[in-house]
Chain A
Amino acid sequence: MKTPIYLDYHATTPMDPRVLEAMLPYFGEMFGNAASRNHSFGWEAEEAVEKARQQVASLIGANKKEIVFTSGATESNNLALKGVAEMYAEKGNHIITVATEHKAVLDTCKRLEKQGLKVTYLPVQPDGLIDLEAFKSAITDKTILVSVMYANNEIGVIQPIREIGTICKERGVLFHTDATQAVGKVPVDVNADKIDLLSISAHKMYGPKGVGALYVRRKGPRVQLTAQIDGGGHERGMRSGTLNVPGIVGLGEACALCQAEMETESARLRALRDRLKDRILAELDEVYINGTMEHRLPHNLNISFAYVEGESLLMGINDIAVSSGSACTSATLEPSYILKALGAGDDLAHSSIRFGLGRFTTQEEVDYAAEKVIQVVLKLRELSPLYELVKEGVDLSTIQWAAH
């Protein structure tokens, strides 16, 4: 077993060697511009792009004409939200989203608010899921778009997408989902789930960085977008710019591999994830799982180790690559807003670790990680004045802390 061990697959994934293999020719002799209509260089590039378009569409049950290639899910989210807001401005000015969305959605919404749109940020329940009744009553005559992520990037919970899609359809509101963490990992079907717009990223599913896609429904309803990047009118005018042919080929191949292997792979990862969870829970007290286990990505585990600060825990398990919701590990020095939204308290956010398993994770690695985490948590609890107080029977909430 090689260290460090990578268990941060929600951040990014290594490229599958088969994906790299598929891409390589397009960095070399097959360098053509897919928009060149008059020679074989262009034709072979176009053919590769169209094959990839079909591979992406097939993974999510879409028609290939509904796939717009982008630079990644951040751009896809921007295009979906800004593009709809601009195109449907006459119809309404209200967007509904969720407090636990990725910043690519939240910050786009904040910008739209500055431009005069109204945005509702739905809270989540303690299990991380939205309340469908609260969602229904948030919809108004002015609502043009609902944007709810498929699966959360920190806690892995899967929102009731089909129910949300059905409600949107009934109310005549467009439904966008940021499916970055879900596509390729769990079955996603844009028709069954009644999704109108869906964001995809290649590097979260063993493809290359810098490429993604936006699914844009063509029938029932035909969704229109105002382009956010002007130029040569590529991608049916929705996203100009010469196509990133090697990247797109990589995305297509990554989708095809995920589709072929999803069933066995998700069962394997679920078993490994549960093994990790069960070992930790068997050895440590005061451990809390963030988000529902019932509706969750099979490869995600997010745990708070009470009375142990996340960054110091990461320091102790420095041969395991994971991430923490602790303020000390974030650029903003704020604890994770996603964990805060669950309402469990900032202290548990500071104590959280996110494990993301993936295609190259082995049982040996999982066992090593579990043992290491257990050892370090035990050591840090020996050091923790909070753990000592709790063991003495003190209720920490009765202490007057001096916030600083």
Chain B
Amino acid sequence: MAYSDKVLDHYNNPRNVGSLDKKDPNVGTGMVGAPECGDVMKLQVKVNPETGIIEDAKFKTFGCGSAIASSSLATEWLKGKSVDEALAIKNTDIVNELALPPVKIHCSVLAEDAIKAAIQDYKQKSAAAQAAESVTA
């Protein structure tokens, strides 16, 4: 299978590889996929609680080159976006940007799921933190 130059670039020079502290209340973690399906993505965002802006994003992916590229691209796009803007990222945006062939569309779907899962995790954590604060207040 021939890969687009953008997929190759992300594969050869993946952006924002790494992990953020899962326990940090401002960090949201999403892990999607399954090893037996051949792809697992972990995507993390660090949100500034004052501004609601995503200040940092990291990923690690077990999967094919397109899965790696999709998650690498997602972290690039997430940085500097608000939480709501992040939720508006669609898998089709990733498909178009990376010129993914039809058999690789599920990689982009997985990346969208990972973004949503990470944001969801962050929202839950901050809601829990706020609830805890109001209880102690």
Contacts and interface: CB of A to CB of B under 8 A. Distances in A.
Interface in B27-84: 31-42, 60-65, 67-68
Given A385-B31, A388-B19, A403 B37 contact: yes
B62 A386 contact: yes
B63 A333 contact: no
B14 interface: yes
B124 to A, nearest CB: 17
Interface string A327-350: 110000101000000000111001
B6 interface: no
A385 B41 contact: yes
B11 A315 contact: yes
A315 B61 CA distance: 15
A326 B36 contact: no
Contact of B40 (A312, A326, A382, A385): A385
Contacts of A333: 103
Bin chain A's interface residue count: 20 to 34
B129 interface: no
Nearest to A308: B62
B25 to A, nearest CB: 20
The A interface is mostly helix, strand or loop, or mixed, namely helix
Contacts of A404: 32-34, 37, 106, 110
B76 to A, nearest CB: 15
A383 interface: yes
Interface centre among B41, B64, B110 (most CB of A within 10 A): B64
Contacts, number: 83
A347 B68 contact: no
Interface centre among B14, B36, B37, B38 (most CB of A within 10 A): B38
Interface string A216-239: 000000000000000000000000
Contacts of B39: 309
A312 B33 contact: no
Contact of B65 (A311, A327, A335, A386): A311
A309 B40 CA distance: 10
Contact of B38 (A326, A383, A385): A326
A309 B63 CA distance: 5
Nearest to B35: A347
Interface string A120-137: 000000000000000000
Nearest to A350: B38
B136 to A, nearest CB: 31
Nearest to A404: B37
Contact of A312 (B64, B103, B110): B64
A347 B60 CA distance: 17
Interface of A: 307-312, 315-316, 326-328, 333, 335, 345-347, 350, 382-388, 396, 401-404
